[in-house]
Amino acid sequence: MDNQVPHFQFNTTANKNSIFDSFLTAKKINIKNNNIFVGDNLDIMSDLFFLNAYKNSVSFIYIDPPYNTFNNFSYNDSMKSEEWNDFMEKRILASYSLMLERGCIFISIDDNEYANLKIICDKIFGKNNFIGTFITKQSQRSNTKLINVVHEYVVCYAKNIKKVNQFKISRMDIPSDANMIKKLYSDVKICLEKNGYNAASKYLKELVKKYCEEYGITWLINYNNLSEDGKIYFAKDLSTPGNPRTVDIPSIGLHLEPLHSRGWSSDSKFLELFNNNRLVYKDGRPYSVTYLEESEDNAPSMLNFYSRFGTNDLKKLGIDGLFDTPKPVDMIKYFIRLVAKKDDIILDYFAGSGTTGQAVLELNNDLDLNLSVALIQIDEEICKKTKVYKKCIEIGIKPNLINILSHRLKTFCYNRNIDYSFKIYKK
Ligand SMILES: C[S@@+](CC[C@H](N)C(=O)[O-])C[C@H]1O[C@@H](n2cnc3c(N)ncnc32)[C@H](O)[C@@H]1O
């Protein structure tokens, strides 16, 4: 409706110093674009122009609100506790209506406001929609008096937990598992090269038992088969509960007599496995193949992401020090991959330096996804006495957060040779 429209405007001709210096009146927001919204996040999320576009559309929200640490950051990080509660509750509630039924929200926080945040979220989402709290790492702090706090939290809630897919993660993305898998492969390879296939195959069985004991795990026990070309795999039995039946698929030379009291997987399953080269026979019986490096696990709650990785991400872009507390790009990519499907919409309404924007661009580019991202960031000036202020002056951008955000994303796109596709809307 026309009377709801002219709240936002977007620029077309961004220049280096000011990104919303030229405005046109926007008619409609295309949520399949990458969009940056300039303004207070509550104001924006409550605006009908925004709401009509994004309502019930977002599958993944990541936010990294001010932790209320009273530190002298380039953005305001000091509120009274009740004030912070009120501030957060209104915003999380506003974002609730933007989420799909299967949508999830991930919220970074530390000890200062963890307890309050949990109460607020329980109230908005319901306790039963609490998915869990991830623990992430941060560099040791020297200024703590009693405990050296080396962790932060990411609190995770679903809009409707029943609609959320399992949080599966490749073991190769879990550093401790990945190291173990690589070590096992290397031990077996040495034996294979030295003593041949039969010896290596036997050695693998011994090693798997030993690793299970040493690492205190059980899942590895099934990965005790070696292929001729040295790959370690789990051979999964293809019988199923159900009525015994004969399998006869001449096109792939498969004939199986009925079992005593169990059925066989469907013909289409056998065909699919055969076509994908995932069918093996042991003593005349067929099994499906899952290679060790493809194994998955539920996402663990303790994660190996250090907050300083975020600082390194800016360094890699050549804009070291342009923001105080950037989160690691890989951490946000990790969370997005737990939840989002190929064409989903991602939202971050405390965008800061735009880490979530970069995470989405990287995923689209590297994994051939088609995600869209909406970033909301207040047009906050940078405090004069900070390093970030100096850095802005040094690289020639006006010291405010919107310029930092757009400069980071433009730099990333430029470095990776990706089109800078963000549209900027200002309230
Ligand atoms: C902790 S930082 C987020 C950092 C971000 N995750 C990153 O990796 O760069 C919080 C950001 O929220 C912004 N912010 C604070 N209040 C806001 C509000 N009401 N609306 C929009 N943005 C806000 C601050 O300016 C700051 O940039």
> Average pLDDT of 328-351?
97
Structure token digits, residue 298: 């539920």
Q: Which of 61, 113, 62, 53 shows the shortest CA–CA distance to 83?
A: 113
325 touches ligand 1 (CB under 6 Å): yes
End-to-end CA distance of the chain: 17
Contacts of 207 (CB under 8 A, 6+ apart): 184, 187, 188
Q: Is any ligand 1 atom within 6 A of the Cβ of residue 391?
A: no
Torsion of CA 366, 369, 370, 375, to 10 degrees: -60
Q: At what angle do helices 329-339 and 355-367 cross, to 10 degrees?
A: 60
Take atom 12 of ligand 1 and give the residue whose Cα is closest.
350
Atom of ligand 1 nearest to the CA of 353: 9
For 205-220, how does the pLDDT look when each residue is reduced to its tens digit (9 = 90+)?
999 999 999 999 999 9
> How confident is residue 416, by pLDDT bands cut at 50, 70 and 90?
very high
Give the Å distance between the CA of 196 and the centre of ligand 1: 58
Q: Is 66 in the pocket of ligand 1 (CB under 6 A)?
A: yes
CATH level 2 (architecture), domain 30-167+300-426: 3-Layer(aba) Sandwich (3.40)
Mean pLDDT of 67-79: 74
Question: What is the residue with the minimal CA distance to atom 25 of ligand 1?
Answer: 75
Are the CB atoms for 181 and 292 separated by under 8 Å? yes
- Model confidence pLDDT, tens digit, residues 223-273: 999 999 999 999 999 999 999 999 999 999 999 999 999 999 999 999 999
Closest residue by CA, ligand 1 atom 13: 350
Taking the C-alpha atoms of residue 110 and residue 122, their distance in angstroms, rounded to an integer, is 17
Which residue, among 104, 157, 108, has the nearest Cα to 128 in the 3D structure? 157
State the pLDDT at residue 2: 33
pLDDT of residue 138: 81
List, for residues 391-402, the tens digit of each pLDDT value. Answer: 999 988 999 999
Whole-number Å distance, alpha carbon 348 to ligand 1 midpoint, is 9
Tens digit of pLDDT for each residue in 84-140? 999 999 999 999 999 999 999 999 999 989 999 999 999 999 999 999 999 998 866
Instruction: Judge contact between 307 and 328, C-beta under 8 A.
Output: yes
CA 2 to CA 147: how far, in whole Å? 57
Give the chain's mean pLDDT: 90
Of the residues 106, 314, 323, 350, which should be mutated to test ligand 1's pocket, given the most ligand atoms within 8 Å of the CB?
350
Domain extents in the chain: 30-167+300-426, 172-296
Pocket test for ligand 1, best of 75, 322, 402 (most atoms within 8 A of CB): 75
Q: How confident is the model at residue 13 (pLDDT cuts 50, 70, 90)?
A: very low
Mutate to test the pocket of ligand 1, among 377, 382, 389, 404 (most ligand atoms within 8 A of CB): 377
> Would you say 332 and 309 are in contact if contact means Cβ atoms under 8 Å apart?
no
Please name the residue that has the structure tokens 């169990």.
262
* DSSP H or E segment with residue 184: helix 175-195
Residues above pLDDT 70, as percent of the chain: 91
* Beta carbon of 68 within 6 Å of any ligand 1 atom: no
Nearest CA, atom 2, ligand 1: 352
Q: Residue 236: its pLDDT value, please?
A: 96
Average pLDDT of 37-54?
93
Q: Using an 8 Å Cβ cutoff, are 59 and 340 in contact?
A: yes
Contact 284, 153 (CB under 8 A): no
